[in-house]
């Protein structure tokens, strides 16, 4: 209680900062982030581990999220993906605490699949893990995990998590490439329950995930992997733009030019600054959203997230992701106002749901869900990235900021630097080199034809679960290390940040300071 007055002042300062930033967009947007903040924070439990003697281990911190409003699942990755913008804005290091229990489980001998699991089990607060997730969620879940992992790395400047689990991320991505995300067959499902063949939204999610892995590889100095994944993503996105945009706007499925939807999975392309998708696509899609909203007089609470869903369901989290991709502030504000209409609907007494009727705002699902962290999608676009993007002339042109907040001051002293060098060499000598594999770039990919359902002749067979192509035993711990130069550079960067934090005495004090 001795810190109560200071804590209150920090909270007031943070509130004022959020309101000031949100008000530059609109008062409606300010209301949305205010509501979302509470739901994100209330959806988590924080744990601190103990050592062998039963003493508190302050470095063993994990966050666990409940799928509130939908199920009792623990750390559902599609909800982590949706809530990601809020953590980027508040304190992006928290994403690492959410990822850690998932990665520990999926990097253990208990988990043998070669793709990411969709959660840590179905009975929160028990995090038992799911050892046999559906293979048909592979594109969705793997893409979610890669996006969240890269968000943690690029906005903190801390590459330790992506370095530690690099082999796991690589194996997931190789499986993703082999399953051809450009043309997902009708057996793959999205987090929204859609399972049509050649889904535009799911395809671009997988393609951007491959591009994300290229960025992870670049950051860790894995040049061969970077070239392979970057080339694959570029080849796929070129074909995707032709297949999905043939009708003048992005269709929901390639084979149905009259289909449409909120192509919210374009958001990581904007958030991470990949610029993989041509700007003309964004401009055309922005115009389409504007026209669709102006003619949807019977749907004041939002555009349905996909025309292939007959229930005309609007989804707040995906509407705000979509708002983060448009090129016109007017289109952005229209989408925001639709979500605001639902949040303030006096005929609906449910706590700010994520899924509701686009015509009357009636509740469908996701009451009080932490997925509403997506309301911060617009503010997150203004947060400064701390890692040098691929294509820059140098990987060390600027020192990344620590994840504990904004540091000020001069360079580390010569003594501290010598300690850093000694520690870096020590860590390096403990690691062994690994053999790198090089994936061939895709030249041309043909999308699947329409999948025939049971009862019809020549039904398309679905993919089969892949098995991990690496051992998860302790003997392979060193295989996670990238090449020599990248490993040494990564250790130096991380140690330098920690020494700087100690020197300045900042610690991990809430709330963090970010350039907004």
Residue 316, pLDDT score: 98
Structure confidence by residue, pLDDT tens digits, 239-297: 999 999 988 899 999 989 999 999 999 999 999 999 999 999 999 999 999 999 998 77
* Residue 391 pLDDT class (50, 70, 90 cuts): low
Give the side-chain half-sphere CA count within 13 A for 67: 22
For the record, the structure tokens of 318 come out as: 């995906």
* Residue 428 pLDDT class (50, 70, 90 cuts): very low
What b/e sequence results for 280-318 when a residue is b if at least 16 CB atoms lie within 10 Å of its CB, and e otherwise?
ebbebbbbbbbebbeebeebbbbbbbbbbeeebbbbbbb
Residue 270, pLDDT score: 98
What b/e sequence results for 152-182 when a residue is b if at least 16 CB atoms lie within 10 Å of its CB, and e otherwise?
bbbbbbbbbbbbbbbbbbbbbbbbbbebbbb
| β-bridge mates for residue 66, sequence order | 74
Structure confidence by residue, pLDDT tens digits, 50-91: 999 999 999 999 999 999 999 999 999 999 999 999 999 999
Higher pLDDT, 303 or 388: 303
Residue 349, pLDDT score: 80
Pairing mode, if any, of strands 44-50 and 56-65?
antiparallel
Residue 498, pLDDT score: 53
Find the helix or strand (DSSP H, E) in which 357 lies: strand 355-357
Q: Is residue 415 predicted with pLDDT exceeding 50? A: no
Q: In what order do the strands lie in the sheet with 313-315?
A: 313-315, 355-357, 363-365
Q: Is residue 40 predicted with pLDDT exceeding 60? A: yes
Higher pLDDT, 434 or 385: 385
Question: CA 231 to CA 222: how far, in whole Å?
Answer: 14
Residue 17, pLDDT score: 95
Asked which of 116-120, 147-151, 393-397 is least confident by mean pLDDT, the reply is 393-397
SS3 annotation, 8-58 = HHHHHHHHHHHHHHHHCCCHHHHHHHHHHHHHHHHCEEEEEEECCCCCEEE
Preceding peptide of 247 cis, ω within 30°: no
> Is the separation of the CB atoms in 117 and 101 below 8 Å?
no
Residue 85, pLDDT score: 99
Which residues contact residue 444 at a Cβ distance below 8 angstroms, ignoring those fewer than 6 apart? 235, 239
Chain mean position to CA 356: 23
pTM of the model: 0.78
Higher pLDDT, 451 or 24: 24
| β-bridge mates for residue 71, sequence order | none
What percentage of residues in the chain have a pLDDT greater than 70?
75
Burial (Cβ within 10 Å: 0-12, 13-18, ≥19) of residue 247: middle
Mean confidence (pLDDT) of the chain: 82
Residue 35, pLDDT score: 96
Residue 463, pLDDT score: 39
Which residues contact residue 201 at a Cβ distance below 8 angstroms, ignoring those fewer than 6 apart? 190, 252, 261, 262, 263, 264, 265, 306
Burial (Cβ within 10 Å: 0-12, 13-18, ≥19) of residue 513: middle
* Overall residue count recorded for the chain in this entry: 516
Higher pLDDT, 388 or 33: 33
> Is the separation of the CB atoms in 313 and 304 below 8 Å?
yes
DSSP 445: -
> Is the separation of the CB atoms in 244 and 250 below 8 Å?
yes
> Is the separation of the CB atoms in 101 and 64 below 8 Å?
yes
* Residue 407 pLDDT class (50, 70, 90 cuts): very low
Q: How many CB atoms lie within 10 A of CB 370?
A: 29
Top-ranked range on mean pLDDT: pick from 62-76, 377-391, 401-415, 488-502: 62-76
In degrees, to the nearest 5, what angle opens at C-alpha 383 toward C-alphas 381 and 386?
A: 120
Residue 147, pLDDT score: 99
Residue 309, pLDDT score: 84
What percentage of residues in the chain have a pLDDT greater than 90?
69
Question: CA 489 to CA 163: how far, in whole Å?
Answer: 11
> Is the separation of the CB atoms in 131 and 118 below 8 Å?
no
Q: Is residue 507 predicted with pLDDT exceeding 80? A: no
Q: Where are the alpha helices (DSSP H) in 66-199?
A: 77-90, 93-106, 138-156, 160-164, 166-178
Question: CA 117 to CA 167: how far, in whole Å?
Answer: 16
Residue appearing with tokens 């850093």: 420
Residue 492, pLDDT score: 54
Residue 497, pLDDT score: 53
Question: CA 85 to CA 366: how far, in whole Å?
Answer: 18
Structure confidence by residue, pLDDT tens digits, 271-287: 999 999 999 999 999 99
Using DSSP, state whether 91 is helix, strand or coil.
Answer: coil
Residue 389, pLDDT score: 61
Compute the average pLDDT of residues 145-165. 98
Residue 351, pLDDT score: 94
* Residue 99 pLDDT class (50, 70, 90 cuts): very high
Question: CA 316 to CA 92: how far, in whole Å?
Answer: 22
In degrees, to the nearest 5, what angle opens at C-alpha 327 toward C-alphas 307 and 324?
A: 65
Domains in the chain, please, with CATH?
21-389 (1.50.10.10)
Compute the average pLDDT of residues 226-238. 98
Structure confidence by residue, pLDDT tens digits, 168-221: 999 999 999 999 999 998 889 998 999 999 999 999 999 999 999 999 999 999
Structure confidence by residue, pLDDT tens digits, 430-480: 444 443 344 444 334 444 443 443 444 443 333 333 333 333 333 343 444
Rg (CA), the chain: 23
Using DSSP, state whether 59 is helix, strand or coil.
Answer: strand
For the record, the structure tokens of 84 come out as: 């990601």
Residue 247, pLDDT score: 82
DSSP 168: H
* Residue 491 pLDDT class (50, 70, 90 cuts): low
Closest CA to 80 of 124, 29, 44: 44
Residue 470, pLDDT score: 33
DSSP 265: G
Backbone angles phi, psi at 67, to 5 degrees: -80, 65
């Amino acid at each position: 209680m001795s810190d109560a007055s200071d804590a209150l002042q920090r909270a007031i300062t943070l509130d004022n900062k959020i309101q000031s930033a949100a008000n530059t967009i609109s008062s409606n947007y300010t209301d949305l982030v205010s509501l979302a903040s509470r739901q994100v924070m209330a959806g988590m439990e924080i744990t601190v581990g103990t050592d062998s003697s039963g003493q508190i281990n302050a470095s063993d911190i994990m966050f666990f999220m409940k799928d509130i409003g939908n199920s009792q699942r623990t750390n559902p990755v599609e909800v982590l993906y949706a809530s990601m913008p809020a953590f980027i804005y508040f304190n992006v290091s928290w994403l690492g605490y959410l990822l850690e229990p998932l990665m520990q489980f999926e990097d253990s001998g208990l988990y043998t699949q070669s793709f990411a699991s969709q959660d840590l089990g179905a009975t929160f607060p028990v995090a038992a893990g799911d050892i046999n997730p559906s293979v048909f969620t592979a594109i969705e879940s793997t893409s979610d995990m890669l996006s969240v992992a890269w968000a943690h790395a690029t906005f903190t400047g801390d590459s330790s998590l992506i370095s530690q689990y690099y082999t796991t991320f690589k194996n997931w991505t190789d499986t993703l490439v082999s399953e051809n995300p450009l043309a997902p067959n009708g057996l793959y499902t999205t987090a929204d329950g859609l399972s049509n063949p050649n889904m535009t939204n799911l395809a671009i999610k997988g393609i951007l995930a491959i591009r994300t892995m290229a960025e992870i590889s670049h950051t860790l100095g894995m040049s061969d992997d970077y070239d392979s994944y970057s080339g694959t993503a570029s080849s796929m996105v070129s074909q995707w733009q032709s297949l999905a945009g043939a009708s003048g706007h992005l269709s929901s499925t390639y084979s149905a030019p009259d289909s449409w939807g909120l192509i919210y999975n374009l958001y990581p392309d904007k958030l991470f600054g990949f610029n993989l998708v041509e700007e003309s696509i964004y401009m055309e899609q922005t115009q389409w959203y504007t026209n669709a909203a102006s003619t949807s007089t019977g749907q004041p609470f939002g555009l349905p997230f996909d025309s292939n869903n007959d229930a005309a369901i609007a989804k707040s989290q995906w509407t705000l992701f979509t708002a983060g991709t448009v090129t016109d502030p007017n289109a952005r504000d229209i989408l925001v106002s639709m979500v605001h209409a639902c949040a303030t609907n006096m005929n609906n007494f449910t706590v700010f749901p994520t899924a509701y009727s686009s015509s009357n705002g009636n509740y469908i699902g996701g009451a009080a869900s932490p997925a509403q962290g997506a309301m911060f999608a617009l503010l997150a676009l203004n947060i400064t990235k701390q890692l040098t993007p691929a294509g820059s002339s140098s990987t060390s042109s600027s020192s990344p900021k620590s994840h504990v907040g904004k540091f000020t001051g001069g360079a580390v002293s010569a003594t501290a630097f010598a300690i850093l060098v000694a520690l870096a060499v020590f860590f390096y000598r403990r690691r062994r080199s690994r053999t790198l594999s090089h994936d061939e770039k895709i030249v041309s990919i043909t999308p699947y034809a329409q999948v025939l359902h049971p009862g019809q002749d020549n039904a398309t067979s679905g993919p089969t679960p892949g098995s991990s192509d690496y051992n998860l035993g302790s003997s392979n711990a060193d295989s996670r290390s990238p090449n020599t130069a990248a490993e040494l550079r990564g250790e130096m960067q991380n140690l330098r940040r920690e020494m700087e934090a100690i020197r300045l005495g900042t610690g991990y004090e809430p709330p963090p300071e970010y350039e907004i």
